A and B are shown apart, each in its own frame.
Chain A
Amino acid sequence: MSDKHKPQPMVDEISDFEVLETAVRELAIEKGLFSAEDHRRWTEYVHTLGPVPAARLVAKAWLDPEYKKLAVKDGVKASLAVGVDWINSPPTGFGTPSDYCNLRVLEDTPKLKHVVVCTLCSCYPRPILGQSPEWYRTPNYRRRLVRWPRQVLAEFGLQLPPDVEIRVADSNQKTRYIVLPVRPAGTEGWTEDQLAEIVTRDCLIGVAVPKPGVTTNEKRPVRPAVHPVHHDH
């Protein structure tokens, strides 16, 4: 067997958490809360999701001014060009054009930076961006970003000059956002593939900006909230 086809290492141990996950799922199916078939179909769909289509949307928009106009005007329509059909792809029928399928593409400029949050829970444009990272789900990020966006972005390593306005977009069940960052200097003549590589998940959420040579997300420490949440409703 060549190195290329070497199997990936496996965890040869069944953890209590793995057993718990299976048991919860099986009981839910047994109780009729959902069907095994629906669960299987949804899992297969979720397996296909990731940030690549959103990165490609941005790269295309950088290269094609007409496509950029379309993306900013109608994110759902623009998504079709990168293989994401918000209306017909989810296999359970979740979402209609009037609710889930409202993707907004927020265009940054040199003087305007967008950043995305979901203050209520963790709404996220999963069909085009995959699963949300852990830090995005935390009350710490969700509460503090809307209060101190400049400082929180600085914690992510994104220091913005005082004359750059920051707009925080708050996602909800109906409307999801991705950020269309400014194309960085040093990418002149690049192909769509090259450009898409530097549009990381964090750039699409807005906590980072694309940089030539940077193709992965920084590992972020997750800090607990100083004041625990008290849901008073």
Chain B
Amino acid sequence: MTEIFGVPAQVLYGQLLLGLVNGSFYALLSLGLSVIFGLLNIVNFAHGTMYMLGAFLAYLLLMPLGLGYWWAIVLVPMLAAGLGIAIERTILHRIYRLDNIYGLLVTFALTMIIEGIVRVYFGVSGLRYPVPASLSGMIDLGFMRLPVYRMWVIFAALGLCLLTWVLIERTRLGATLRAGTENPRLVQAFGVNVPLLVTLVFGWGVGLAAFAGVLAAPLMQLTPQIGHSIIITVFGVVVIGGMGSILGSILTGLALGLIEGVTKVYYPEASSTVIFLVMILVLLMRPHGLFGKQ
């Protein structure tokens, strides 16, 4: 069997694939955070909660309603976006004029409330969401065996990231959006309904998080805590990459997922901390992040 630096090649490839899967989640979530921060100036602490909620909504659609994975992947992001829009209209729009630490605090309170409600109804023990039949199984590549579902996760997550990138960087709507980020008053003066734009952007960001939750549901035990550690890891990703650039978010997310995967092979004890160590190093050398503006 081939070995790479004393580790069987299959193990390394396996962890690299897992790293890529995790990296896709980081990319999807940090992208949503960046887009929301760009227009709303709010760091959405509840982003991890929306990811968790996405997974649980998928479970709810399956268990009492019998709507399977493909229904979930379409309906859940829309439901979550609807919830996001309701939250933006009733709560968030009241705090735009305040210092942006209040955005963090309000969304922290929302995290407590939403997560508490999920805990009331589902308890803290883990639930299982089955891998859809059409995506189960393995592909044998000769040098390793690929689970189809993981490939699908990477493909779907990166596809949605790219779609978001195209929407924002290459369309007229996106150009208005970017202008709104720069100078909302001027854009408003040109007759663009900026508050509506803000609401939609928040809905889109929340939808991205819920989509990530549906993608992740078959890969783990569902507990109300699944949003906890991922949101802080994503904060680390955002500090490393800077929130200015969309492609930056995607690349940083993927790269950190891979770094985590490699660490799991060679020094497993550090796999949960390596992203934060990278963050500290980046802060010491480039305080504004790899893609951040001064």
Q: Do A and B come from one complex?
A: no
User: Which residues of A are interface residues toward B (Cβ below 8 A)?
Assistant: none
User: Which residues of B are interface residues toward A (Cβ below 8 A)?
Assistant: none
